[in-house]
Structure 1
Amino acid sequence: MQKIFARRAIVDGREWAATALTIENGAFTEVRHSADPAEADVVLEDGTLIPGLIDLQVNGYHGIDFSHADPAGWQHIAQRLPETGVTSFAAAFVSAPVPDLTQALGRCHTAMNTPSSTPRARLLGAHVEGPFLSPAHAGAHNPSFFCDPEPEQISALLNAAPTGTLAAITLAPERVSALTAIEELASAGVLVSLGHTDATAAQTHAAIDAGARCVTHLYSAQRPFHHRDPGVIGQTLVDPRVSFSLVLDGHHLSPQAAQLAFATGASRLVLVTDAVAAAGTTPGRYQLGNQTIHTTADRPPTSANGAFAGSTLRLDRALANAVRLGLPLPDAVTAAATRPADLLARPDLGRIAVGAQADLVWLDEDLTARAAWIGGELAFGTPLRPRRFDPPSRQHGEADAEAHPG
């Protein structure tokens, strides 16, 4: 049994002062207000304790791309992500031939079930982004791989690995057979998200009717908004049935666009990084699927055609950027922890609540991850000492690469 006391915490979407947590067998057994830290094993007198963050779109990290990662690479990323506040994540695969994606799903399943002797971020499955996308909004994807989501293609993906491995898929709803595919995927428990699309508002509405529950990196690689042709952006902003993700790195969208999304849909917001192999390391050339991407210190990675190719954003920085743009901290925590868990039907994650997994992040005053626990085990930070917890120094070479909006 372990007891943690925090002077400030985010619990159930609200700010709590003087919070006492009891953890047994990796889960919370008690969550209560308490002004007395006397019995605590760990006392956090400053900063903010929040549930572990969940990133639904991680293509790679620390020079490793999930499309090409070996078992050691999968484990390395999972062990390092807690430094950014991420305690659970979905591994993202960009567009590729469906047979290649089925093999990638098999590798993901293996990684999900490989034991580790050290705490690491939970791998919640794969997020397959493509190949059922629109060539009009390909972004950094290779359009030569694009195709319609015909029944045999969907069956191949669903049958590639045991249920739960394919956690999410991004597709363009205007493609032939897309609505049927959405229905089949949703009935199989897959989170269907709309993205890289030229869909009209009516096509977006039909896709949501069919079971789509999210929109991938709203605004980016989508039909532009027009007052007589609102497209996927307009439909998403007014439709309470669908959530949407944002990449808040200060480059992918303007502060005003982010604030518009907050004003119309803060209760449906999901923060993601869309991080690629260039994240957490030095500028240079890296792989994203079958393409070479290039990153510099002052802008996101780009592909050969100049399109943004993911980001080098940390999820704790995305949370901090949201707060700087006016989103209350409890709402930002919900967007980066609770709502992603809910979209993947994981009520045991993303919250500080009795019965949930004891995944926690201690943020400093700048909302940077200072320590992280997974299932009650310290995954990042200074070794625990009774009644004291010293902040860790920044990892060498891990300075944030993204610019902050504002």
Structure 2
Amino acid sequence: MVKDRTALAGARLVLPGGVVEDHRIAVEGERIARLGGGAEPGDLDLTGYTVVPGFVDLHVHGGGGSSYTSGIAEEAVEVARTHLEHGTTTTVASTVTGEIDDLTRQAAVLSELVEDGVLAGIHFEGPFISHHRCGAHRPDLLRDPDPALVRKLVDSARGHARMVTLAPELPGGLASVRMLADLGVIAAVGHTDSDYATTLEAIDAGATVATHLFNAMPGIAHRAPGPIVALLEDERVTVELINDGVHLHPSVLGLAYGTAGPSRVALITDAMGAAGMRDGRYPLGPLQVEVRDGVAMLTDGSSIAGSTLTMDRTFKRSVTVSGLTLQQAVESLSAVPARLLGLADRVGTLETGKLADLVVVDSDTYDLVAVMRRGRWVRGAERFPTVTPA
């Protein structure tokens, strides 16, 4: 069987070893076959464009007017498609707090999409979180992280649970962290009122992720450093950050990068159903959200309710506003989350043999131009002329 072949020439590539100009990528079937060499007749001419690896989003609830929490497969596919068109070639579906039986039904639907290759896994955010830091989660549905209940949710994902966010200070919290670590599921500290010492205990028990660091947790005090300092200073922890200009002040983003470094930061969207859509009212699990000027808030105004981000916007903001280098941005949007998910042998960097998951942006503006997933163009290929013989 002859594999589909295509080649891109003349582009700037962001590779693990550095940024290279006027390079060529040859794709055969689903994978990158070769990197380097001169342009050949029939190649697509990407002069003036930059190619980066497809984005990997660890934490996303919805988009395109749909939600992963609906329990409807068609809606979940629409969410994944929306974010794919914005460069997210690998995505983990995040739930929100709900009744346990509702969450297990959602997990059954999402698991089928993992098995179909649409999703890379499931992230349970809630219900095992703090009443004091619940944010856009319904307080009456919160539960203590009893290990048996946590295990019930994980088992409902049929081996596709990638991450569970919980508050380790709650009864059963540390035991659940240990159980998740033993199961190979990421235990994430988030929506927590934990203190510094308890957070360190959670890390020692196996927690390896900070769910949207700074948001939905106590701030830093000079005699009570709280969970933020514990999570930032420990090299075993990857910290999620939402870089939308709303969730974090630019100086706080800089503090996180200065302390943890790009190799421990995973930029996420935490997007809800309004991502890629207009302002208006949207559901977020059992709650209602009002989006105005692109900012999502619960309708009672009590909390930010996720974001309306897409990863291409995160990438552009990170480079043009936040001052990250291209390599730093690629590390946080692709390589770090790919490693965390155990997928670094397949995605997250531009390397020979890996899946041809590519995002093409304008080299001057960093606006998204085209997306390829597994060797197939999702959007934008018509923009590029072919190289003609000299």
Q: TM-score, normalised by structure 2?
A: 0.93
Are the counterparts in 2 of residues 82 and 380 from structure 1 also a CA contact under 8 Å?
no
Question: Which region of structure 1 is more displaced relative to structure 2, 124-133 or 67-76?
Answer: 67-76
Q: Specify the SS of the correspondent of 1:67.
A: helix
Q: Deviations over 1:138-188 (max 9, x none)?
A: 11111111111112212211221321x211111111111111211211222
Q: CA deviation at 1:381?
A: 1.3
In the other structure, the counterpart of 2:50 is 48
In the other structure, the counterpart of 1:243 is 238
Q: CA deviation at 1:332?
A: 0.8
* 2:19 paired with 1:15: yes
Q: Which amino acid aligns with 1:153?
A: L
In the other structure, the counterpart of 1:217 is 212
Are the counterparts in 2 of residues 58 and 90 from structure 1 also a CA contact under 8 Å?
yes
Q: How does 1:215-294 map to 2 (within 5 A)?
A: 215-266=210-261, 267-294=263-290
Question: Which region of structure 1 is more displaced relative to structure 2, 263-272 or 298-307?
Answer: 298-307
Q: Which amino acid aligns with 1:317?
A: R
Are the counterparts in 2 of residues 92 and 128 from structure 1 also a CA contact under 8 Å?
yes
In the other structure, the counterpart of 1:74 is 76
Q: Distance in 2 between matches of 1:205 and 1:39?
A: 58
Q: Specify the SS of the correspondent of 1:152.
A: helix
Question: Which region of structure 1 is more displaced relative to structure 2, 129-138 or 294-303?
Answer: 294-303
* 2:340 paired with 1:343: yes
Q: Deviations over 1:280-334 (max 9, x none)?
A: 1111111000011111115333342420000101211112222221221111111
Q: Specify the SS of the correspondent of 1:5.
A: strand
Question: How large is the RMSD of aligned CA atoms in angstroms?
Answer: 1.7
Q: Deviations over 1:203-247 (max 9, x none)?
A: 111111111111011110101111111111111221111010111
Are the counterparts in 2 of residues 251 and 300 from structure 1 also a CA contact under 8 Å?
no
Are the counterparts in 2 of residues 13 and 333 from structure 1 also a CA contact under 8 Å?
no
Are the counterparts in 1 of residues 136 and 298 from structure 2 also a CA contact under 8 Å?
yes
Q: TM-score, normalised by structure 1?
A: 0.89
Report the CA distance shift for 1:153/1:342 in structure 2 as closer, same or farther (over 3 A): same
Q: Which amino acid aligns with 2:100?
A: V
Query: Aligned match of 2:356 in 355, 358, 366?
Result: 358
Are the counterparts in 1 of residues 279 and 294 from structure 2 also a CA contact under 8 Å?
no
Are the counterparts in 1 of residues 45 and 384 from structure 2 also a CA contact under 8 Å?
no
Q: Which amino acid aligns with 2:310?
A: R
Q: Specify the SS of the correspondent of 2:342.
A: coil
In the other structure, the counterpart of 1:370 is 369
Q: Please list every run of 5 or more consecutive structure 1 residues that lacks an aligned counterpart in the other structure.
A: 116-121, 389-406
Are the counterparts in 1 of residues 296 and 308 from structure 2 also a CA contact under 8 Å?
yes
Q: Which amino acid aligns with 1:327?
A: L
In the other structure, the counterpart of 1:299 is 295
Q: Distance in 1 between matches of 2:357 and 2:241?
A: 23
In the other structure, the counterpart of 1:396 is none
Report the CA distance shift for 1:363/1:290 in structure 2 as closer, same or farther (over 3 A): same
* 2:121 paired with 1:125: yes
Q: CA deviation at 1:265?
A: 1.4
Q: Distance in 2 between matches of 1:208 and 1:40?
A: 53
Q: Please list every run of 5 or more consecutive structure 2 residues that lacks an aligned counterpart in the other structure.
A: none
Q: How does 1:96-115 map to 2 (within 5 A)?
A: 96-114=98-116
* 2:147 paired with 1:146: no
* 2:312 paired with 1:316: yes
Report the CA distance shift for 1:189/1:178 in structure 2 as closer, same or farther (over 3 A): same
Report the CA distance shift for 1:84/1:139 in structure 2 as closer, same or farther (over 3 A): same
Q: How does 1:77-92 map to 2 (within 5 A)?
A: 77-92=79-94
Q: Which amino acid aligns with 1:158?
A: V
Q: Distance in 1 between matches of 2:239 and 2:17?
A: 19
Q: Specify the SS of the correspondent of 1:84.
A: coil
Are the counterparts in 1 of residues 9 and 39 from structure 2 also a CA contact under 8 Å?
yes
Q: Deviations over 1:62-89 (max 9, x none)?
A: 1112111522222222222222111111
Q: Specify the SS of the correspondent of 2:253.
A: helix
Q: Specify the SS of the correspondent of 1:159.
A: helix
Q: Which amino acid aligns with 2:106?
A: A
Instruction: Count matched residues.
Output: 379
Q: CA deviation at 1:25?
A: 2.5
Q: Which amino acid aligns with 1:43?
A: D
Q: Deviations over 1:378-401 (max 9, x none)?
A: 01114376526xxxxxxxxxxxxx
